[in-house]
Structure 1
């Protein structure tokens, strides 16, 4: 796997906004623009799509110029932007890469109340609007940029509590096989970008090493630790700090791990709306 010379990741949608100039907006969800040398990848499209449109315009980013769309998984806070006509219009005809399970009917059991949290588009609708590629295996999108495919579990925690799929009028536990990351090989080592990290960030890091044979330099994005007990968050934070040079918890990671990691200023990355992070 070749390394790229320049990598910049710009956060277009997240729960937190880092800057007031220009004035940007946030919402629950995630979307990031990955610029790897001269290839542009939109990773997720956010929840409503409105911050994606608004923030990209304020930052001078033309969504029409991206080369690929990658979906981290099928939950609506990462795919709901496709319910926004402006998003679809700007991205129509692009190559869209995701795991085959991304179109499953996904349901959340939140305190005994069932809620649909899946893709706003069916597979047929998606294929009419985009050039769809579905893969459960790792796929090198461009030189130095790999779609992780299905993340192997190595015994570390994964985060699937309360998540189900609806099939034939029955609910099945969702093992989140569609939870995928990007592995980007830089001169400093691998940079991992996650959406929610349902597979478990420690599983994702181990998988990245296995499929690329590279050391991991940084991980950023959602780590899904917001509901985890303090002892577990501290353990994960310790593993990340020992093994990575840069760490950027975002979206569903929770404030606890942000607080812990931010104490180590040399390793901390502020991953919130408006931030552009270069490697």
Structure 2
């Protein structure tokens, strides 16, 4: 009996030890899963390219680029319009573009891809995510089964002599660049999603565009390039990831929008989606800057060139206002760009006042 009791006690101790180990392992695994999602605590966005700003050491130009730093990741979003200017502004910001985890190219327009040659000169192997478009500048893979064939033709009249490769690869504008094409919204890392949408607007119809959504404990950090598919559509898809939108930064492409359209969009962002902080730039447009500032008040973040937005710990917006210097540089650079509203509408008046509500 005594031996049986000893054995029983031994089994009990062993079972308890196993349970302790199992609980500990589960806790560690759970913590690992928790920590795999981005933390918002140290998140910041540095504006490297835009047409307005207060930092004299930066060179203004029409285009957009931003560096996002979060949870140890360094992400470059777009490259602006000109390689020399991107290089200058990166140096002015103290940003080393040779040290990046990956790059997101929002779309094919020149004022977002123009700095690629500089980027690749300092970081030739960096992973670049770009929208997949038929025959686009980022390259394209076309399955040979996509075209009809005629076996009756002689070989010299047939593509590839009648024996095409399974995939016909279209060239890209940057030979050797490590580009991964994105055709649909994709979570590329835990908590980091590329939202892929297609524009239906005049002059940009069928244009594919990527937006960057980073899910954090405080909500989504959403970076947009030009929002050609419509900022409301992008936010609607982002809200399916997390209905709490912590901050939106980038261009909203409302340069030629009418006052009623601006008012509707601002109301949608503020009242429908309850966006907490707004940091518009680039092609958002002067009247929309004013309308967003009026609607969001202290939750409007000035995001001019050279600004560093500590979006992980926003307690109050800096009291930096759009002024006549911003107005002058923005308008001058806009007039010489493809985004100029003169190319889309001759009737829209630009002003620094908020649109009528």
TM-score normalised by the shorter chain: which range applies? 0.7 to 0.9
So what's the TM-score if we normalise by structure 1?
0.80
Partner of 1:37: 71
1:64 alignment partner, SS class: coil
Partner residue of 1:28 out of 62, 68, 88: 62
In terms of fraction of residues, the more helix-rich structure is 2
Kept after mapping to 1: 8 A contact 2:200/2:229 = yes
Equivalent residue pairs, number: 241
Counterpart-to-counterpart distance in 2, 1:199 and 1:52 = 26
Residue number among 221, 241, 261 corresponding to 1:232 in the alignment: 261
Call closer, same or farther: CA 1:215–1:229 in 2, change over 3 Å: same
Task: Tell me what 2:282 maps to.
Answer: 251
Please say if residues 46 and 80 of structure 1, whose CA atoms lie closer than 8 Å, have aligned partners that are also in contact: yes
Q: With CA pairs under 8 Å and 6+ residues apart, which has the higher RCO, 1 or 2?
A: 1
Contact 2:38 / 2:71 at 8 angstroms: preserved in 1?
no
Alpha-carbon distance change, 46 to 139 in structure 1, aligned in 2, over 3 angstroms: same
Task: Give the unaligned 5+ runs of structure 1.
Answer: 106-121, 152-157, 164-173
Alpha-carbon distance change, 71 to 134 in structure 1, aligned in 2, over 3 angstroms? same
The answer for unaligned runs of 5 or more in structure 2 is 1-35, 138-168, 313-357
Instruction: Identify if the C-alpha distance between structure 1 residues 159 and 24 changes in structure 2 by more than 3 Å, giving closer, same or farther.
Output: farther
Quote the offset at 1:214 in angstroms: 4.2
Q: Is 1:15 matched with 2:46?
A: no
1:94-109 pair list within 5 angstroms = 94-101=126-133, 104=136
Deviation at 1:175, TM superposition (A): 2.1
After TM superposition, the structure 1 stretch with the greater mean CA deviation from structure 2, 236-245 or 31-40, is: 236-245
8 Å contact kept, 1:217–1:244: yes
Distance change >3 Å, CA 48–CA 197, structure 1 → 2: same
C-alpha distance 160-80 of structure 1, shift in aligned 2 (>3 A): farther
The C-alpha deviation readout for 1:109-143, integer Å capped at 9, x for no partner, is: xxxxxxxxxxxxx9634563322111112222333
For residue 234 of structure 2, what is the aligned residue in structure 1? 204
Q: Helix, strand or coil: the match of 1:94?
A: coil
- Indicate whether 1:70 and 2:111 are aligned: no
Alignment of 1:1-279 (within 5 A): 2-5=37-40, 6-20=42-56, 23-82=57-116, 84=117, 86-101=118-133, 104=136, 124-125=171-172, 128-150=175-197, 160-163=201-204, 174-176=205-207, 178-210=208-240, 212-242=241-271, 243-263=274-294, 264-278=296-310, 279=312
1:131–1:148 distance in 2 versus 1, CA, 3 Å: same
Shift of residue 51, structure 1, vs aligned partner? 2.4
CA distance in 1, matches of 2:126, 2:191: 20
TM-score scaled by length of structure 2: 0.63
Query: Quick one: structure 1 residues 268 and 103, their matched pair in 2 at CA, closer, same or farther if it must change by over 3 Å?
Result: farther
Specify which structure has the higher proportion of strand: 1
Aligned 8 A contact 1:240 1:247 in 2: no
Distance 1:66 1:123, change over 3 A: farther
- CA gap of 1:123–1:68, structure 2 versus 1, over 3 A, is farther
* 1:56 positional shift: 0.9
Residue 164 of structure 2 corresponds to which residue in structure 1? none
Larger Rg: 2
CA distance in 2, matches of 1:62, 1:214: 34
C-alpha distance in 1, partners of 2:221/2:134? 23
Over the aligned positions, Cα root-mean-square deviation in angstroms equals: 2.1
Counterpart-to-counterpart distance in 2, 1:213 and 1:262: 24
**What's the secondary structure of 2:266's corresponding residue?**
helix
